Amino acid sequence: MACIEGKSSCDNILSVRSSKNDGIYEVRVLKRWRVPDFFKPEMFDSVAMVLIDKHGHKIEAVIPENLLCVFDEKIVEGRVYRISSLSVKLNFGHSVSTFHRYKFEFNKNTKVEPCSNCAVIPTYGLSLIGADDVLKKKEKKECYKYLVDVVGVITKVQHNKDFYPDGKVIRSVTFKLNNERKSFCCELYGSLVDDFKNLVKSCSNGLPIVVLQFVRINYVQGGTLVQGVENVTKIHVNPATDELLRFKSGLVLYLSRSANYGGLLRSSLEPRLSEMLDFLKDYPVKTIGELKSDPELGTFIVNARMLDIVKMDPWWYPICKCNKIFDKYIGAFHCTKCNAADFKAAPKVKLTVEVEDETGYALVTSFDHVMAKLAVYDTSAREINSDNFYRAFAAIMGKSIMWIVKKTFHGPDFVGCSFDLVRVSNHKAVIEYFRGKGLYTTPSKIVRRRLLSNVIAGELNELLPSTTTTSDLEDLYLSAAYPIGLDNDRASSSGSKRPRE
Ligand SMILES: [Zn+2]
């Protein structure tokens, strides 16, 4: 069978059988690892890898020890190859990396050529399963034999050190991954702990979505525990794939519709004196025009009116018991004030509001709780949507009030500057204070709401499922291997039930 680059004449991984070893496959090496010698764990006896084709079908391949000198250097993780003349073996064991009935074994006649046709083959090759499916394994008290890919928002992290009598210290990290209402526990050991730390460290803007690829679902002490397999498991944090975007939109939609969201409800409370005192702190008072033209960063007071809410991003944020939001993960979330590392996952809405004075306008980002004091919130309308939020702030739209903003980035006009809201107040005492100093100069005006109704990411999206199930995956590969009585075409066609990246 000829294999012409750029044409779809290569064989489908689903059609691999033990009786058929003349296949030619164009595949990406999703992951490769050294397999430790069973008797001498410090030695390696072979190299294993997971290969994926353009249909998103996966199969394990093994280079036996005696052929490592021929193939080991030739195969690089992440690259695409055209491979032919492979032996086919049954894929069995108490833990296997793919759902395929068979696996490849390299032999001395195997041909490996680098292939430039890599754009069509998935880079991540995720087959995400949801929390429901993970937790189902608990009912069967089963240690699931296939390695799977799981996804969720991190809601609890704990770093552990176990000390053993022989002086050995074993580090691990345990965390929870959440999918809407359900969550499951995960545990990583060894080098995966550092991988995890480094990846999560680079995230900001709320709790990250973590994907664990090639993990084991184990039944441990009466519960389900997802465990990393050292050298095999891959960790992805907020990966940019279609499934992940859909997963995130689904969560945003879930959060927006959740009746428990109470972010603006504190609006009924009186402003605290400490919040008013911030306005006496001698921050420089500037106009919006000055704020945008002067490159100086820092905290400033502005007298301006709010025109609109241009964007709303509901998400979960890690907060300390003192209500401080952790903005960065530094090995662990840590509050210096409380000397605490425990955090709660709290739903927050990040708002982008447009404000203006007589010299110009600016976009200011703010967490809902900072603006809550100005809101008049209808307690029966708890859903997070732009109408409810606009209504909550309708009474102050266009009113001249006092703002404390932190300028965090300076850019020219076409890029724009970044401002975070520190405090905002329409309190009489605050207004009078600035009026007395001659710094309350922006007039109020009547503003009409512009028609920017779909400002939440999830409001527009039609949601396709982002996860599959282990039963679907088992069926897909099983029916391909034993097509009798089942749909014969499935093995040879693209056969994938779910959209892939
Ligand atoms: Zn704290």
Between 139 and 112, the higher pLDDT residue: 112
* Residue 264 Cα to ligand 1 middle (Å): 21
- Cα dihedral 24, 29, 30, 34, rounded to 10, equals 120
Instruction: Give me the amino acid identity at 259.
Output: A
How much distance in Å is there from the Cα of 326 to the middle of ligand 1?
Answer: 9
Q: What is the pLDDT of residue 481?
A: 77
Could you tell me the distance, in angstroms and rounded to a whole number, from the CA of residue 121 to the centre of ligand 1? 46
Q: Give Cα 310 to chain centroid, integer Å.
A: 24
| Dist. CA 357–CA 402, nearest whole Å | 11
**Mean pLDDT of all residues in 196-220:** 90
Please tell me the least confidently modeled range out of 48-57, 135-144, 293-302: 135-144
The predicted-structure confidence for 66-88, as pLDDT tens digits, reads as follows: 999 999 899 999 999 999 999 99
- The answer, yes or no, to whether residue 493 has pLDDT greater than 50, is no
Give the C-alpha separation, 72 to 403, whole Å: 62
Per-residue pLDDT at 33: 93
For the beta sheet containing 87-90, the strands, ordered from the edge strand earlier in sequence to the opposite edge, are 87-90, 102-105, 58-64, 44-52, 24-36, 80-84, 111-114
Cα separation, 484 vs 406, whole angstroms: 67
Q: Of the ranges 24-33, 37-46, 364-373, 389-398, which is most confident? A: 24-33
pLDDT at position 166: 86
| Kind of pairing between the strands at 128-129 and 360-367 | unpaired
CA distances 304 to 301, 360, 450, Å, are: 10, 10, 19
Specify the pLDDT at position 270: 67
Question: Which is nearest to 16 in space by CA: 109, 112, 89, 97?
Answer: 89
Residue 266 or residue 372, greater confidence: 372
Q: What residues pack around ion ligand 1 (CB closer than 5 A)?
A: 320, 322, 324, 335, 337-338
Task: Please tell me the distance between residue 35's alpha carbon and the centre of ligand 1 in angstroms.
Answer: 45
ipTM over 0.95: yes
Predicted confidence (pLDDT) at residue 42 exceeds the cutoff of 80: no
Give yes or no for residue 418 having a pLDDT over 90. Answer: yes
Give the separation between CA 159 and CA 332, rounded to whole angstroms: 8
Q: Looking at residues 11-38, what average pLDDT do you find?
A: 88
The answer to whether residues 102 and 17 touch, using CB atoms and an 8 Å cutoff, is: yes
Q: In the block, which residue shows the tokens 């605490």? A: 340
pLDDT level of residue 495 (50, 70, 90 thresholds): very low
- pLDDT tens digits along 230-284: 899 999 999 989 889 999 988 988 888 876 666 665 555 566 777 788 898 889 9
pLDDT, tens digit (0-9, with 9 covering 90-100), for 295-328: 999 999 999 999 988 888 889 988 888 888 887 7
Q: State in Å: Cα 334 to ligand 1 middle.
A: 8
How many Å separate Cα 285 from the centre of its chain?
A: 39
Structure-model confidence comparison of residues 372 and 331, the more confident one: 372
Q: According to the model, what pLDDT value does residue 259 have?
A: 65
Burial pattern 378-396, b for ≥16 Cβ within 10 A else e, equals eeeebebbbebbbbbbeeb
Task: Please give the full DSSP string across 363-428, using - where no structure is assigned.
Answer: EEEEEHHHHGGG----TT--S--HHHHHHHHGGGBT-EEEEEEEEEE---TTT--EEEEEEEE--H
Domains identified in the chain and CATH numbers: 1-125+468-501 (2.40.50.140), 128-239 (2.40.50.140), 265-460 (2.40.50)
- Ligand 1 center to residue 156 CA distance, Å? 16
Distance 13 CA to ligand 1 centre (A): 53
Select from 470, 369, 384, 392 the least CA-distant residue to 148.
Answer: 470
Return the pLDDT at 451.
Answer: 55
